[in-house]
Chains A and B, each alone.
Chain A
Amino acid sequence: MDFANYDPAGASRSREIISAKIVIAGGFGVGKTTLVGAISEIQPLTTEALMTAAGVGIDDPSKVPGKETTTVAMDFGRITMAEDLILYLFGTPGQTRFWFMWDEIIRGAVGAAVLVDTRRITDAFAPLDYFENRNLPYVVALNRFDDAPHYELEEVREALAISPDVPLVMCDARRRESVKQVLVTVVEHAMLRLQAEHGFAAPVG
C-alpha cells in the first residue's frame, strides 16, 4: 500500500477495499487445504475459534472451565486481485458438528465448492444439505485421487442426488489450473443464480 499521501486528518476515512470469499467444503481429508494451497498467494493459514465463547454465547468466561474449551480450526488462503479487491478462500472445519462456524464462514460468500472423494462419497451429504438449506450457490468438484475408483460424473450426480442445475466438475486439487477452473465455475454459477433470481431467464439446457 502507498502511504505517501497519508492524511492524518482523514485517518478514520477508509479507502475501500472489497473482499470476496469462496467457501471450500467437504469431508475430512478430501483435499480442502490442498486445493486452497494450490492457488493461494500465501501458505494456507489457520484461524482458530473457541467453541465456548463463540458457540454458546457465554458472556462470563470465568464460568467456563478451560477443559470445556474446544478449538475449531479453519484453513484459508488469499488471492489479491487488485489493489482494492481481495479474494479469500475459506475451508470449512472438517467436523460438521461445528455448524456455528460454518454460518460465520458463509455469511456474504460468493458461493461454495463441495469437494468429493469417490471413496467416501457420503461425506459430502452434510455440506450439500447445508448449502441447499442456506440457499448458497455451490458447485460439486470431484477430487481425483489416483487410487480411487473411477465413476462417471453422472453416476456421482445420481449417487449424491445433486439437482441438474448444480454444476459438477472433475478436479485435481493439487493443480493450480484445475483449482482455478473450479473457482471460475463457482463464480459463473453464482452469476447465473443471481440473474435467475432477478427475473433473467435461466439458460436452457
Chain B
Amino acid sequence: MEPRRDPRGALVRPYAVTRGRTEPLQNIALEAVLSCTPTQSAEARFAGHDKYRIASVCEGRAQSLAEIAAYTRMPLGVTRVLVADMVAEGLLTLHTAAPATGFAARMNLLGRVLSGLREL
C-alpha cells in the first residue's frame, strides 16, 4: 500500500503500530527522560521499524517522551505505548525518578532550576 502524503491521513489508524493497544504498560510523563545505549539500539533493530526509530532518537542523548514523539512524528499516545514497551523489554532506559515530593526535595529542585536559569 502506498503511504499517504497527507500527514493526517497517516494518523487515521494511529494505533495500528501498537496492534490497537492504547494503554501503556506504565504511564510515562511527557518530560520523562529516556536513553539508549549502542547495545540497546542494536537490539532494537530486531524489534520492528518504529521501535528502532525510537531507539535511534535516544542513542547517545537523553530525550523526553515529548521529544521522541516529535522527532519520530508519531502521536504522543502511540509513542507512549511503544516507549513503555521498550522500557519493559530493556531496549530503553527510563531515567526519571518519581517527581520530587516533600518540602526539602522540591525546594532543592526549584533552587537548582533557578540557578540554572541565571547561569544562561
Contacts and interface: CB of A to CB of B under 8 A. Distances in A.
A188 B93 CA distance: 32
A81 B30 contact: no
Interface string A57-101: 011111000100101000010110110011110100000000000
Contacts, number: 157
Contact of B117 (A14, A46, A69, A183): A183
Given A21-B30, A183-B117, A187-B113, A47 B93 contact: no
B114 A20 contact: no
A169 interface: no
Contact of A86 (B15, B62, B110): B62
Contacts of B14: 50, 53, 61, 69
A108 B90 CA distance: 26
B117 A61 contact: no
B47 interface: no
Contact of A62 (B20, B97, B120): B20
A16 B62 CA distance: 11
Contacts of A104: 30
Given A6-B39, A11-B40, A17-B96, A49 B77 contact: yes
Given A14-B94, A47-B69, A188 B20 contact: no
A66 B13 contact: yes
Interface stretch (A118-126, A127-135, A149-157, A190-198): A190-198
Interface string B2-36: 00000010011111000010110000011111010
Contacts of A17: 33, 62, 95-96
Interface of B: 8, 11-15, 20, 22-23, 29-33, 35, 37-40, 60-62, 64, 66-67, 69-71, 75-77, 90, 93-97, 99-100, 103, 106-107, 109-114, 116-120
